[in-house]
Structures are given as structure tokens and as C-alpha cells.
Amino acid sequence: MKVDNQGCDGPVPVSLPDVYGLFDKAWNETIAQLGWETEADPLDGHKLGAFTSPLSVDVKTGRRGYAAAYYSPEVAARPNLRLLAETMVERILFAQQNGNVIATGSLNSPQLLELSGIGRADLLQTHCIPVIIDNPAVGENLQHHAITSINFEVADDQVSGDIMRDPNVVQALIKLYEETHGGPLADMPLSMAYLPLVDGTGAVPKDQIETLLSKYLDNDNTPASLQAQYSHIRKMLLQSDGPSSHYLVLPAQLHMNPGKTTLADVLVKSLPENYIAIMALHNHPFSRGSVHISSGKSEDKPTYDPNLLSHPLDLEIMARQLQFVGRIAETTPFSTLLKAGKRMPENTTDLSDLDHVKNIVMDRLYTCFHPAGSCAMLPREIGGVVDSELKVYGTKNSRVVDASVFPLEPSGNIQATVYAVAERAADLINS
């Protein structure tokens, strides 16, 4: 379908699906030009190079799949299943012989455990909650995929998703989706790439990585509970085929500005020109946040501190990743789709000074909505909340089944891994 972009130079006929495909093709070729081109399947966990992310979309209906698909009419008819929608859970009743399944997410599962008397004793006592199990690891070890980005103005003969600032374009695309279940509104047009640790010159040599790791990790300040985790991340960073860097291209402008935290703030099309955004994501952060109850009332939201970039090595890595964003934008064929030197914010034109780039990262920091690790599956003595069968330590048969059990943040989107945990939990419960 063709739509008209009413720009300064008059109507420009453009097919948005073709535009997305054009950027995607140039992205793949540019990443290959920079030295990463493999035929590996990104779903097997060992992909380096560019790829187009698969979508959880039913090809027949054009609708996104989600976990409610498990709740089929046959499942709903089971006599031992009762669904209470729009219901607030206040606490867990551990006396139930059949056990409990907690699946309220990385921010609310710790809250529910603490409200039920499982958590750090002094915190529970402060809120007048009887202590059933003293486990200070509940709500700790929280990890996030931090993300930063640069906007690049597209060349005069190109357009981007920013033309959807025009309500007429939006209505045309809605009509296209309603009639065909196709077009840009049928998916999230993200081109991606997994790469090892990189900077403005390309892959960081192994000896330089070892120097960085020694600088930030070879000291006595690492808590005992994190030493095993850091050792594992360290090994992944040293692997030349390890996907520590995750790049994404969105064919529209993004605004990750200090104090602006909502998606409406981030996606607003405040710049009048057409832009694309290249994002850099740190797959395996060293920083750890926390989430804990703010009161003894279930209706009060927990106190959430993502603590992004609290470990200085995360900032070092992300600054280097952002330097590589500049390298991508200057490499053909991707560079041919952009206006040379036209970037926002304007202080991203020169990314050669690492300290300067660190400041950019801190100013343009956001989250990729992948909280994990706050009820970690680890030995209890090093910060574990659940065991290898997802059972909460100290309980007979209460399990946590969500991303909070991940001891380490996985690469990329966590959706498939959460589904895998749920499938495994079903098998454990039935065994």
C-alpha cells in the first residue's frame, strides 16, 4: 500500500513495509561488511551477526501470541482449575497441602513472598509481618537489560516510521492492518545483531578485555554471593563468539532523556525530520538492583531500584558499544540511507573520547523491560531463593515460576525463556 508523506518537498509516495525492508537489508549487509556474517540460527544461542527477530504472531490471524494461549477452552473446563480475574493476592497460605505457584513477575513475586513472611527478617519486622523464613536474598539480585541509543536523520530520498506523526498515515495503516492483517502495524520492525564486546574500532582484542576485567573485578569488594555469577559473565566476555552486545534498529526516533521514563516520552516524534534509532543493549550486566515491600499492605507498590550502571564495568562496556553504533552508521551500505553528520543528540557526532561517551550513555539510558533474578535459582548460601525444582527454600511445595528465578539475565528477550520455565514447572508439578 502506498501512502503520501506530506513533507517540505511535497508528497512523496512510499510503501512503509518496503522502507522497513530497505533498512533491514542495509543493516544485514553492513554488519557483514564489518566482519560478522554467519548462517547460525539466532534461536540456538550462538548467533553472531545480523538477523531479523522472529515474532510471536499468528500468520493466519495477524495477532500476537501470548501466554493466555495456554488457557484453552479445554483447560478452562478442568474441574481442578479456577481462574479469578482482577483479584489481588494478599499473601500465601503455606498450610495448603497442594502447594502454591507464584508467577507474579520479577517485581511482584518478591513482594508477595515478603508479604507472606519470607524475606529479610528486619524488613518484615519493620512492617509488622511475622517472619516465617528469614531469607535476605528475596528481592535482591535484580537485573535489567539497560539500553542506550542515537538518532540518525535519514537521507532526503528516504523516510522512516516518523511519518506516522501524520494521523492520515496512521489511519491508512490501521485500515491496511484491519483488511489484510499486514503492514507495519502487524509487527515490531526491529533489525538486530548479536556481537562480542566491541568499540569504535571493532571487536575489542582479548588482551584488552582481560585488562578491563582485571581493572574492575580483581579486588576484594565483590560480595561472595556474586563471585560465581561474575566469574561466569567474565568467561562469556572473553569468548570471541559470545554475544555480549545486542544491537537493535528502530526506523523511528527515540528520546531517552533524563527524567523521561514513560514510553510516551520515549516514542514522541518531537523532531520534525525523519530519523532512525540504533540502540545498544548490554546482555549480561554486572549491576544488581532490588525490589522490596514498601509497607505491609498488598495494594502498596513495592520499592523498586533497578540500580542500572551501579557497577562501573557496565558503563565502560556500554560506552564502547555506543562507539560502535557510530562505526555502523559510517559504514556502507547503511550510511547511504543517512544524512552524514546529522545525529541527535548533537553531542553524539564525535564518539572518539570514551569519557564523553560515558556521559552520553548516562544521559540516554533506558530499560528494555526484562527484569529478572529477584528470586534467584541458586544455592541458598550464595543468594538463592528457589532450588533447582523452583521450590522456595524452607517451604514444602511452594514454587516461583517466572523470570525472577533466573540467576543471570539471559541474552535478548526473556519471553521464550519464561515460557520454558513454565513448561518445566508444569512437568515438575505433575511428577
Number of Cα atoms under 13 Å in the Cβ half of residue 357: 24
Rounded Cα–Cα distance for residues 406 and 425 (Å): 14
CB 32 within 8 A of CB 49: yes
Average pLDDT over residues 367-382: 96
Rounded Cα–Cα distance for residues 315 and 319 (Å): 6
**Which of these, 381, 367, 379, lies nearest to 409 by C-alpha position?**
367
Comparing 341 with 13, the larger pLDDT belongs to: 341
Rounded Cα–Cα distance for residues 143 and 289 (Å): 6
Q: Is the pLDDT of residue 8 over 50?
A: no
Domains in the chain, please, with CATH? 1-16+55-82 (no CATH), 17-53+143-372 (3.30.560.10), 92-141+374-430 (3.50.50.60)
Rounded Cα–Cα distance for residues 409 and 285 (Å): 8
Query: What pLDDT is attached to residue 188?
Result: 67
Lowest mean pLDDT among 124-128, 131-135, 219-223, 292-296: 219-223
Average pLDDT over residues 258-267: 85
Q: Is the pLDDT of residue 56 over 90?
A: no
Most confident by average pLDDT, 154-163, 166-175, 223-232, 373-382: 373-382
Instruction: Identify the burial level of 285 via C-beta atoms within 10 angstroms of its C-beta, where 0-12 means exposed, 13-18 middle and 19 or more buried.
Output: buried
Q: Tell me if the pTM is above 0.85.
A: yes
Lowest mean pLDDT among 117-126, 142-151, 252-261: 252-261
Q: Which residues are annotated as a binding site for FAD?
A: 89
Query: What pLDDT is attached to residue 11?
Result: 40
Comparing 180 with 206, the larger pLDDT belongs to: 206
Q: Is the pLDDT of residue 6 over 70?
A: no
Number of Cα atoms under 13 Å in the Cβ half of residue 430: 6
Lowest mean pLDDT among 91-100, 148-157, 193-202, 332-341: 91-100
The DSSP code for 107 is: H
Average pLDDT over residues 330-344: 95
**Which of these, 149, 117, 135, lies nearest to 281 by C-alpha position?**
149
Instruction: Identify the burial level of 138 via C-beta atoms within 10 angstroms of its C-beta, where 0-12 means exposed, 13-18 middle and 19 or more buried.
Output: buried
CB 39 within 8 A of CB 45: no
Comparing 304 with 56, the larger pLDDT belongs to: 304
How much of the chain exceeds pLDDT 90, in percent? Answer: 67
Rounded Cα–Cα distance for residues 154 and 34 (Å): 21
Query: What pLDDT is attached to residue 15?
Result: 54
Comparing 24 with 278, the larger pLDDT belongs to: 278
Mean model confidence pLDDT for the chain = 90
Rounded Cα–Cα distance for residues 157 and 169 (Å): 18
Most confident by average pLDDT, 45-49, 267-271, 421-425: 421-425
Q: Which residues are annotated as a binding site?
A: 89
Question: 367: which strand partners?
Answer: 146
Binning the chain into helix, strand and coil, the percentages to the nearest 5 are: 35, 20, 45
Q: How confident is the model at residue 159 (pLDDT cuts 50, 70, 90)?
A: confident
Average pLDDT over residues 101-119: 97
Q: Is the pLDDT of residue 374 over 50?
A: yes
Q: How confident is the model at residue 99 (pLDDT cuts 50, 70, 90)?
A: confident
Most confident by average pLDDT, 43-47, 218-222, 359-363: 359-363
Q: Is the pLDDT of residue 3 over 70?
A: no
Query: What pLDDT is attached to residue 16?
Result: 56
What string of DSSP letters covers 162-231?
A: GGGGSHHHHHHHHHHHHHHS-SGGGS---EEEEESSEETTEEPPHHHHHHHHHHHHSSS-S-HHHHHHHH
Q: Is the pLDDT of residue 7 over 70?
A: no
CB 376 within 8 A of CB 400: no
